[in-house]
């Protein structure tokens, strides 16, 4: 099941460079000794290790050349002082160690840790290190290393991942770009990552969402040290508990006219389900009224599935203006296709200048410049759609998801939500939000249609597109996680997520975030 969110995590997410500057500021300007800071990091990581794996037996600690390797040597020293069996390997030659990392290696030796030099061993020797070990501690590559790991580190990462053993990563899994969440080559797949000083944005999006496991934060320094350093976060971490308070409070005498009218324009022939999913998700997310404009062939199925939705059969885009006139928010794109019908309805939606959520084929048509929207929209591309909009390879989008979302926002205006593990929301204000968490069960067709409906309903209620996008992604993930508790991942389908939405919102109401006034 998905790991529960760690509500002790801070919201501020920094680049790796910014965290190193904070670290430097604390040492140079606040007089904190660098080696003492390293010892604090090692103590904190060791506490987490013992708490999470109290009976892990022998530790295999893999240490690189920089301060990350120094953390590893000190974790090994802590373990040895507590009577644990430790196999410590210098992946980078100890002769090249300097500064605090060298002090850490010397302390490990003084505390009885035997350090084996990787360069002095054979491939067969390396494979035997994993026998009889209960836990691997990854301290090979820190935040200062970018690009694909080179040998012999790449081979050690492969051996770690192939061992089947749990891995505790110090600060960042080796091979992961801590700023962007990209991994250009081999990358450690950790069960837990203990990160220090400041949360790194790359731990929560892209490959970071896959390989970090449970992220645990050990600040080590006082908050004023971070503030006085002058470093600003590159993004804010969001999840359902942290943003559910944005939902409007419902008065005891509330009526449907106060919660917006969402018009879903979706469903070319053969894709009728897309519109049904979006419309039902909007209905389940508190919209006062929901209408669906779709191909006439889908009207009966839509009314049978969700009779609370007002369904209209549309043969030509010219029939849309009266429906658009009465709507406060429009969701357009799911299953509209790229043919004449899809082009007609999208052009009418864009011409209406209504606040809108554009998804799926609406984005594909935008990439062909069939229609150019004004700023009052939320675009919700997956990486493939984002690549088409930016006219670049998908790999370029995934190499820096935050940068891609910002580029899309600068190009098209409005709010941009880039889907994927660690969803990124870029707004007109310049703020970037990252939704913390992921669920592999959501990798199936129709999940994006559900998200577009949720966002449409929320923007109709809170009238803040950026917040609606972030809140929508957060509740979408929360509902998927709740549904996965019964359905698992492989059996999860979009209607399971829709069915879970009321329970997620109900939990919020019980917490008081959206309790009726006067009750």
pLDDT in tens, 28-59: 999 999 999 999 999 999 999 999 999 999 99
- Residue 512 pLDDT: 58
Q: What are phi and psi of 263, to 5 degrees?
A: -105, 120
What are the helix (H) ranges across 193-298? Answer: 207-211, 223-228, 240-243, 272-283
Q: What is the mean pLDDT of residues 275-292?
A: 98
Percent of the chain exceeding pLDDT 90 equals 89
pLDDT at 511 over 70: no
The mean pLDDT of the chain is: 94
> Which tens digits make up the pLDDT trace of 350-383?
999 999 999 999 999 999 876 666 679 999 999 9
pLDDT of res. 3: 38
With a cut of 60, say whether residue 106 has pLDDT above it: yes
| Residue 131 token pair | 């026998």
Q: Is the dihedral of CA 80, 67, 9, 214 positive or negative?
A: negative
Residues 255-268: pLDDT tens digits? 999 999 999 999 99
More confident residue, 517 or 36: 36
Q: Look at residue 226 and tell me whether its pLDDT is greater than 50.
A: yes
**pTM listed for this prediction:** 0.94
N- to C-terminal Cα separation, the chain: 35
Q: What is the SS3 assignment for 122?
A: coil
pLDDT of 305-357, one tens digit each?
A: 999 999 999 999 999 999 999 999 999 999 999 999 999 999 999 999 999 99
State yes or no: pLDDT of 228 exceeds 90. no
Closest Cα to residue 206, out of 174, 239, 184? 184
Q: What is the pLDDT of residue 249?
A: 85
Mean pLDDT of 119-131: 89
Over residues 452-501, the pLDDT tens digits come to: 999 999 999 998 999 999 999 999 999 999 999 999 999 999 999 999 99
Average pLDDT over residues 225-252: 92
If pLDDT is split at 50, 70 and 90, which confidence band does 156 have? very high
Helix%, strand%, coil% for the chain, nearest 5: 45, 15, 40
Are 148 and 185 in contact by the 8 Å Cβ rule? The answer is yes
**What 3-state class would DSSP assign to 351?**
helix
């Amino acid at each position: 099941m998905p790991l529960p969110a760690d509500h002790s995590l801070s919201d501020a997410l920094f680049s790796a460079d910014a965290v190193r500057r904070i670290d430097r500021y604390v040492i140079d300007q606040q007089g904190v000794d660098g080696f003492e800071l390293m010892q604090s990091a090692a103590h904190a990581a060791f506490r987490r290790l013992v708490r999470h794996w109290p009976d892990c037996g022998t530790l295999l600690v893999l240490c690189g050349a920089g301060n990350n390797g120094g953390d590893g040597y000190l974790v090994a020293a802590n373990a040895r002082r507590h009577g644990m069996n430790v196999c410590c390997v210098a992946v980078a030659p100890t002769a090249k160690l300097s500064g605090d990392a060298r002090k850490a290696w010397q302390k490990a030796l003084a505390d009885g840790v035997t350090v084996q030099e990787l360069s002095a061993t054979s491939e067969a020797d390396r494979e035997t290190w994993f026998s009889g070990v209960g836990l691997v501690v990854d301290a090979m590559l820190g935040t200062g290393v970018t690009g694909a790991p080179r040998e012999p580190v790449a081979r050690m990462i492969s051996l770690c991942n192939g061992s089947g053993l749990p891995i505790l990563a110090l600060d960042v899994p080796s091979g992961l770009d801590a700023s962007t969440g990209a991994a250009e080559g081999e990358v450690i797949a950790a069960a837990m990552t203990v990160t220090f000083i400041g949360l790194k944005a790359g731990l929560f999006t892209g490959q970071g969402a896959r390989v970090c496991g449970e992220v645990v934060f050990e600040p080590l320094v006082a908050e004023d040290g971070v503030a006085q350093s002058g470093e600003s976060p590159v993004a804010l971490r969001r999840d359902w508990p942290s943003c559910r308070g944005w939902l409007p409070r419902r008065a005891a005498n509330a009526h449907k006219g106060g919660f917006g009218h969402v018009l879903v324009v979706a469903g070319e022939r053969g894709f009728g389900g897309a519109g049904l999913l979006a419309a039902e998700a909007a209905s389940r997310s508190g919209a006062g009224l929901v209408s669906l404009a779709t191909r006439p062939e889908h009207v009966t199925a839509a009314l049978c599935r969700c009779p609370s939705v007002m369904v209209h059969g549309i043969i030509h885009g010219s029939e849309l203006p009266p429906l658009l006139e009465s709507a406060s928010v429009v969701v357009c794109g799911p299953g509209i296709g790229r043919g004449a019908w899809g082009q007609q309805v999208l052009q009418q939606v864009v011409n209406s200048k209504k606040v809108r959520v554009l998804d799926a084929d609406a984005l594909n048509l935008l990439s062909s410049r069939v229609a150019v929207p004004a700023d009052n929209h939320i675009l919700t591309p997956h990486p493939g759609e984002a690549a088409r909009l930016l006219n670049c390879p998908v790999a370029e989008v995934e190499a820096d998801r935050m940068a891609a979302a910002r580029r899309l926002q600068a190009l098209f205006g409005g709010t941009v939500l880039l889907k994927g593990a660690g969803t990124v929301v870029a707004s007109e204000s310049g703020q970037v939000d990252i939704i913390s968490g992921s669920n592999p069960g959501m990798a199936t067709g129709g999940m994006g249609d559900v998200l577009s409906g949720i966002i449409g309903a929320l923007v109709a209620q809170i009238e803040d597109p950026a917040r609606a996008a972030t809140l929508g992604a957060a509740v979408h993930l929360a509902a998927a996680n709740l549904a996965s508790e019964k359905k698992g991942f492989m059996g999860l389908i979009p209607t399971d997520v829709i069915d879970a939405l009321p329970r997620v919102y109900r939990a919020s109401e019980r917490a008081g975030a959206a309790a009726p006034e006067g009750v």
